[in-house]
Structure 1
Amino acid sequence: MPHPFPGITLTDASYSVAGKTILPGLTLSLTEPRIGIVGRNGSGKTTLLRLLAGLVAPTSGTVRLGGFDPAKDRKAALAALGILFQNPDHQIIFPTVEEELAFGLRQQGRSDAEARAMARETLTQHGRLHWAPASVATLSQGQRHYLCLMAVLAMQPATILLDEPFAGLDLPTQTRLIRALQGLPQRLITISHDPALLQGYDRVIWLEDGHVRQDGPAAAVLPEFHAEMARLGGLDADADLTG
């Protein structure tokens, strides 16, 4: 894994869809090993993550990862970035575990035989070689999340993007995934509604209506974010049906 991590730079990057601006001209330089992104629903968090991953291109401005545009150079993006979505069923496309793990490796240019060997090696490293022939449909929600994580790790990216990776999981499964993620050498950029999951992060970016409301160490940003969410929760603002 190359160190330091390749920087991700957004320069006046905006994103609009159907005439609605979701992100209005963000300028950020992302270099830290652990970065969290917080904000209310609709604040632009997932759109920002999709821009970073190159899954969408900015409407204006630029996104650069180590000098290349991840939306235009997909091969380079696949080598440098992995993404773990909130819902594993939006990510999994093959019927068996081994096929799912091998797919991304083939996308990186490996032969089918090499990809399958690497898939089995990844399963062995995680103590799950017996999963190789299993139908994905037989896996629990937590197991499918873990499969997606293994698929990302098999591709050996320098940066992993996580979009609410623990949503919908029971506490034991959350604990296993958190433990797996904490020990990774990769840079993690994590969206989460739960400030507790981002404690100790090098940096937290608080988005509000597509703008950066606060940006700094977790210890400085998270208490203010938590306090503001608690304040908003006490307003009963959704009780007014005419609003």
Structure 2
Amino acid sequence: MDGIEFSGVEYAVQGKPVLQGITLSLHERRIGIVGRNGSGKTTLLRLMAGLVAPTGGTIRVAGVDPAVDRKAMLRAIGILFQNPDHQIIFPTVEEELAFGLRQLGLRADEATARVRACLAAEARAHWAAAPVTALSQGQKQWLCLMAVLLMEPATLLLDEPFAALDLPTQARLSRRLAALPQRLITISHDPQAVAECDRVIWLETGRVVGDGAAAGVLAAFRAEMARRGDSDADTDLGA
């Protein structure tokens, strides 16, 4: 798998820094990114996927600028958001699954055949014409994952993938993700969600403050979160 390179990356919104001085070389198969809400985790993933462009520095995914060559990113990067309702855009399961394949250039009949084969392999052939509104939250998350996997990306970006799911659904999704051959980059505020990763990166106020083996980084992260929890750290009004 080709890597993802950040060199001096900055990202600001209306002059307010969100990410600052991010330099990373991501090559491991399982990478976790932890941090409190607002630390810049989701922004980092959006930059990798080319959904936004940095305001400073450079990003390369397999040697390509993701914000410039979006078509190349279709096979390089897939992203699964925390809330599937923010990702689903078509009214039926079959249409949603076919959309990415059509973006890759498949004819309508080719895309339909690929989708139906996928649904049959998942014992969900009867889902094809179902409205997405009939699906549970967990089923919608499965739909989004299948839509991404049909495009065969080299790297899958996961934005708090378990946050809105009940425990049995979390267990099923966790098993499925663990078996995938793709590189997985998972962001979470929950250390347990990334405890098995090869590498963990800790973001705090838009900067990397920890980077290394999961055990060491997560121990430091837990200790700092416990320290903050013992104090009245939320008394100041937001800027």
Q: What's the TM-score bracket when you normalise by the shorter of the two chains?
A: over 0.9
Give the counterpart letter for 1:185 in structure 2.
P
CA distance in 2, matches of 1:191, 1:242: 23
Deviates more, 1:134-143 or 1:233-242: 233-242
Match for residue 197 of structure 2 among 192, 195, 201? 201
Report what 1:91 is aligned to.
87
Query: How far apart are 1:119 and its partner, in Å?
Result: 1.1
Give the counterpart letter for 1:96 in structure 2.
T
Deviations 1:68-121 (A, max 9, x none): 111111110011110000110110000000000000110111111111111112
Query: How far apart are 1:240 and its partner, in Å?
Result: 6.5
Report what 1:23 is aligned to.
19
Query: How far apart are 1:197 and its partner, in Å?
Result: 1.5
Match for residue 42 of structure 2 among 43, 46, 51? 46
Give the root-mean-square deviation of aligned CA atoms: 1.5
Report what 1:157 is aligned to.
153
CA distance in 1, matches of 2:140, 2:112: 19
Query: In structure 2, do the counterparts of structure 1 residues 202 and 95 end up closer, same or farther at CA, with 3 Å as the change threshold?
Result: same
Matched, 1:176 2:172: yes
CA distance in 1, matches of 2:64, 2:7: 13
Match for residue 118 of structure 2 among 111, 115, 122? 122
Secondary structure at the counterpart of residue 43 of structure 2: helix
CA distance in 2, matches of 1:217, 1:117: 43
CA contact (8 A) 2:62 2:76 kept: no
CA distance in 2, matches of 1:231, 1:162: 28
Report what 1:64 is aligned to.
60
Report what 2:128 is aligned to.
132
Deviations 1:154-182 (A, max 9, x none): 11101000000111211011111101101
Matched, 1:14 2:36: no
Query: In structure 2, do the counterparts of structure 1 residues 241 and 51 end up closer, same or farther at CA, with 3 Å as the change threshold?
Result: closer
Matched, 1:217 2:224: no
% identity of equivalent residues? 67
CA distance in 1, matches of 2:159, 2:98: 22
Secondary structure at the counterpart of residue 110 of structure 1: coil
Report what 1:230 is aligned to.
226
Secondary structure at the counterpart of residue 152 of structure 2: coil
Matched, 1:186 2:182: yes
| Contiguous gaps of at least 5 residues in structure 2 | none
Query: How far apart are 1:238 and its partner, in Å?
Result: 2.5
Q: TM-score when scaled to structure 2?
A: 0.97
